A = this chain, B = another copy of it.
Amino acid sequence: MIIDSHAHVMLPPERQIMLMAEAKVDRTVLFSSMVHPEITNDIKMFEEELNKLYDILNGIKDPLNERIHAIEELAQIIKENPEKYIGFGSIPFGLSYSENLKWIEKHIIANGFRGIGELTPGAGQVLQMESLFCASQEVGNLPLWVHTFFPLKAEDIKELLTLVKRYPTVPTIVGHMGGTHWLDTLKAIKELPNAYLDLSATYTAIAPSFAIKEFPERTLFSSDAPYSSPLIAKTIIEQIITDPYVLDRVLGENIANLLQL
């Protein structure tokens, strides 16, 4: 089974289904989105959406109502095609342990979502996620999906990996495999069996090549749609993997095992 392990809700929903069909993707792990760059038509509109996203990524903006609305939108889309989607639910940044638990119960577990994310700490904020790691452990180790590309710095990724080490039962998906710090990330997760690598948003095919070579059972194909498309992302994986066993694992089995699908 081919599983796109990370894509955001795209509008209209039919477009997402069409892109999955085009790439022969059977299922998608779907994340909510408070911005919709896929419906912008020109640079100006796109920039407005992007600035909204950066404000969220940089922790400047964390609009509660928009987040809840996006989660409801996600739950609705999954309800309409339950055989196609698995949900991951978002959570505001910087909650206390008990606030995290309350949110997880109400917005993640109640919706049947299978993980938490996309988490987007700003630079210097990563350690604030400790209470979330703790809460995830408490509710049965819900996987966390953490963005590690720009604006995160090398130091932030190091801090994230100290949390991954401190909570060895909490599976953590390192989104975009560390971005420009991918090589250091690969070296660092050798001793962290609960760290998984998301292969989207890489600017060089060499990065996923080595990631898969080193960690054939912990690397996850994903499109990060709408920021790329399932077909583009799958073509990259098919180009760099020659072993059919490894290809099956990366294109679907690894995430299926992780989420016990």
Chain A residues proximal to chain B, CB less than 8 Å: 37, 42-43, 46-47, 50, 149-150, 176, 179-180, 183, 186-187, 201-206, 210, 213-214, 224, 226-229, 231-232, 235-236, 239
Contact = CB atoms under 8 A, between A and B. Distances in A.
Given A37-B206, A43-B183, A204-B227, 10 more contacts: A50-B183, A179-B203, A201-B204, A205-B229, A205-B232, A206-B226, A206-B227, A229-B239, A232-B232, A232-B235
11 contacts: A46-B183, A46-B206, A47-B183, A203-B203, A204-B224, A204-B228, A205-B229, A206-B226, A206-B227, A232-B239, A235-B235
Of A176, A227, A239, most buried by chain B (CB within 10 Å of CB) is A239
Contact of A203 (B201, B226, B235): B201
A42 B204 CA distance: 16
A98 to B, nearest CB: 37
A60 to B, nearest CB: 18
A39 to B, nearest CB: 12
A55 to B, nearest CB: 15
Contacts of A226: 206
Contact of A150 (B180, B213, B228, B236): B180
Contacts of A179: 203
A190 to B, nearest CB: 10
